[in-house]
Amino acid sequence: MEDKLNKHLFGIYSKKTDGGTRLCRKDGTRLYFYQRVFVWLMATVVILGYVGFRLGIGVLVVSFLCAIIFSDYMSGQIDFWHAFYIMICDGRVIALGLFLGCVFWLGELAS
């Protein structure tokens, strides 16, 4: 099989072999242990950051919707931004937002 290297970040390359694709250095040798750990840590941080972003979007959407409903229910007594602050600090709204964010994320994975 041809030794064509594809460049990635931080001097890490990937090479197609008969067994699949593996990460390597520029000369085609295996990565050092600390480089493999670094790659796994980068992947973990990116994945957790993306999941956290999706969950945060869910919390903001649910807080926004609850604030609209609450400020309309208490018309004249509370403005929208104060209702939004109350909703974003409420544990029940946060839990529902996390659940919906997780559902959105899993739905995106399924499609």
Single-letter code of the amino acid located at 93? V
Six-digit token string for 97: 């937002």
Q: What is the pTM of this model?
A: 0.68
Q: Alpha helices of the chain — where are they, by DSSP H? A: 33-73, 80-89, 91-110
Count of the separate structural domains present in the chain: 2
Q: Do 59 and 16 reside in the same domain of the chain?
A: no
Residue 3 confidence (pLDDT): 64
Provide the phi-psi class of 73: left if phi over 0, else alpha when psi is between -120 and 50, else beta.
alpha
Q: Do 48 and 9 reside in the same domain of the chain?
A: no
Does residue 38 sit within a domain?
Answer: no
Residue pLDDT, tens place only, 10-21 = 677 777 777 777
CA angle, 103 then 109 then 111, to 5°: 105
Does residue 36 sit within a domain?
Answer: no
**Where does the pLDDT of residue 6 fall: very low under 50, low under 70, confident under 90, or very high at 90 and above?**
confident
- Residue ranges making up the domain that contains 98: 43-110
- Percent with pLDDT over 90 in the chain: 36
> What values do phi and psi take at 21, rounded to 5?
-105, 135
